[in-house]
Structure 1
Amino acid sequence: MKKTACLMFLFLWMALPLVAQSDEEEVPRSINESTMVGIGGYNLRDTYLSPSTDINYTGWVARILNERMKVVRLADYKISRQQLINVEFGSTRNGAETANEYAGFVDYSLGYHYRFTNLLPGLKVLTGASARLSGGFIYNTRNSNNPVSGKGDFDLNLSAMAIYNFKIKEFPLTFRYQAEIPFAGVLFSVHKGEPYYFLTQGGSDGIVRFSSFHNKFAMKNYFTLDIPVSNFTLRVGYLNSMYRTDVNSIKTHVLSNSFMIGFVKEFVSFGGKRLKSNAHRYSSAYY
């Protein structure tokens, strides 16, 4: 199992220089970037913190989501790259009103999608894969011995989205739906009842596990609508996130539904000789 984890992280480490190198070789193309904030409902359960499997903590979650999309040179410019950075914090309380749980997560996702652009007028369908690195915690205010449950995941995901440009009485709008689901990865989990200080005493056997559908189900559903307003574009959306694991006798779920709002900008980043040339044409990865 340790060999599997090492190979997957080695693959990611080797891939990063290739991504950086492709940036230098790409023909200048526009980047579609959005930054959104959201708030919604949160549902937590972690049997490391609460031994009973039927105790849910419910409350609110706030998040910030940054997204970048760009067409890259691969497959004759039929591939787009998507980067997502998500930061979230949630506050919940159990049904008996006797304890609180707080959770915080940060994750980064890098995906590549093949673009099908000639299916229907105004419609793009993108299919591909992504890699996601995530880390975070769940903290329970009632526990004294084991108050924190740490989380760490590296996933390989299947990803697909549909982007539809249309008009309502000559008013242009863009709707997008995206779904992402992991099929393989590794995750961090201590054993049930094992304090984290055991890790400093050599008790690290079995804390990194291979993850797939047998012990983990996670999925994101993302809906957005782009609305041009004067000289800027407003993006509103809805994000449904599901995360469930059953590892080392610990069952965890983190469920959220967030309503999002933010702004979109389209820009071109280049320099040197290309900065002084106006001969280039740019195409959007999104519109």
Structure 2
Amino acid sequence: MIQTKKPKWIGALVVCGVLSANSLALHAQIYGQSIPQRITTNSRMVGVGTTNILDTYLSPEEYHGTDIRYISHTLRKREGKRMLQEIVHQGNIAYVDTRSGSGKELTGNYRFQYGWHYACRSWQWGRQELRLEAGGNIELALGFLYNTRNSNNPAQAYFSLSVLPTAAVEYLFPNPFHRNSQRKCCLRYALGVPVAGLMFSPNYGQAYYEIFSKGNYDHNIVPTYPGNAPSLTHRLTFDFPLFRATCCIGYQGEYLQSHVNELKRHSYTHTLLVGIVKTFKLTKVNR
């Protein structure tokens, strides 16, 4: 029987193919591992506090009462990157009255913030770390105020769009009750101050009927800046591990003011917060 010899180049080609496949697989594995994970931290908090409200369009008196609110605060970043994305949803409702009890008001508001922060510096010693970040947010605010005593102009509508420089500092440290745990506590303080924007406001003595039914515009969209709308919002939160969850407690102070179209308005609120914190890690998979 005559045996047929296979050409040597076929064996060499097979070996090269196997080596190339292994090289591509190794490259894909290394490339997939090099993609930084996206980390999302979401805090959902409810709060109860006190509020002081003045709106001279409806009444020259100040109203005091209880404020209830919900806050969803989200931070997104990629491992090893300095940029952070911030998203804040906040809604509140308050029922207030005068000191004499002669009048009552009901108010509700929704605020949405979106922005970017830059992780400026971080200092680390042992298992403790201090972080400093700064950036800017855009805020959209909608709301209403209803006065139960007024019959002619019983309600006021709120709309504003603002640009807020923001800053925050975080202090991370080991759990004092379980020092061997990898889950750390986090103390965070954040501050935001509006510097420019637009707001809706009726003019002094102008009824909503004139604005929306007759179309009588009278400087109802007003530019805002710290001179006519000095405002500030700051929040202090403490995140701590509890069993398998991460809980948070905190305080928020909100000082909103405006003096436009000869009308004064303010809302000073102090709120105690409690909530749950969840952290997610998303990894991109290449197929």
TM class, shorter-chain normalised? 0.7 to 0.9
Residue in structure 1 matched with residue 113 of structure 2 by the alignment: 109
Q: 1:68 and 1:173 mapped to 2: Cα distance?
A: 17
Q: 1:249 aligns with which of 250, 262, 272?
A: 262
Q: Give the letter for the 1:35 counterpart.
A: R
Is 2:253 aligned against 1:240? yes
Q: 2:83 and 2:198 mapped to 1: Cα distance?
A: 27
Residue in structure 1 matched with residue 11 of structure 2 by the alignment: none
Kept in 1, the 8 Å contact 2:39–2:78? The answer is: no
Q: 2:195 and 2:36 mapped to 1: Cα distance?
A: 33
For residue 150 of structure 1, give the secondary structure of its aligned residue in structure 2. Answer: strand
Is 2:63 aligned against 1:57? yes
Residue in structure 2 matched with residue 259 of structure 1 by the alignment: 272
Deviations 1:259-278 (A, max 9, x none): 000101111356xxx3578x
Residue in structure 1 matched with residue 235 of structure 2 by the alignment: 222
Q: 1:269 and 1:187 mapped to 2: Cα distance?
A: 38
Is 2:90 aligned against 1:86? yes
Higher mean C-alpha displacement, 99-108 vs 190-199:
190-199
Residue in structure 2 matched with residue 126 of structure 1 by the alignment: 133
- Per the TM alignment, residue 118 of structure 1 is displaced from its structure 2 partner at its CA by 2.8
User: Structure 1: 5+ residue runs without aligned partners?
Assistant: 1-25, 278-287
Q: 1:165 aligns with which of 160, 172, 184?
A: 172
Is 2:152 aligned against 1:145? yes
Moved over 3 A (4+): 274-277
Residue in structure 2 matched with residue 3 of structure 1 by the alignment: none
User: Structure 2: 5+ residue runs without aligned partners?
Assistant: 1-34
TM-score of the aligned structures, taking structure 2 as reference length: 0.81
TM-score of the aligned structures, taking structure 1 as reference length: 0.81
Q: 1:112 and 1:72 mapped to 2: Cα distance?
A: 13
Higher mean C-alpha displacement, 161-170 vs 242-251:
161-170
Is 2:107 aligned against 1:98? no
Q: 1:250 to 1:72 in 2, by over 3 A?
A: farther
- Per the TM alignment, residue 120 of structure 1 is displaced from its structure 2 partner at its CA by 4.5
Q: 1:36 aligns with which of 45, 56, 71?
A: 45
Deviations 1:34-88 (A, max 9, x none): 11100000110000001x3xx2100000000001101159xx8211011000000
Q: 2:206 aligns with which of 189, 194, 206?
A: 194
Q: 1:106 and 1:140 mapped to 2: Cα distance?
A: 19
Q: 1:166 and 1:268 mapped to 2: Cα distance?
A: 21
- Per the TM alignment, residue 116 of structure 1 is displaced from its structure 2 partner at its CA by 2.6
Q: Give the letter for the 1:92 counterpart.
A: V
Relative contact order, CA 8 A, sep 6+: which one is greater?
A: 1
Kept in 1, the 8 Å contact 2:191–2:233? The answer is: yes
For residue 268 of structure 1, give the secondary structure of its aligned residue in structure 2. Answer: strand
Q: Give the letter for the 1:234 counterpart.
A: C
Q: 1:269 and 1:194 mapped to 2: Cα distance?
A: 53
Q: 2:198 and 2:163 mapped to 1: Cα distance?
A: 9
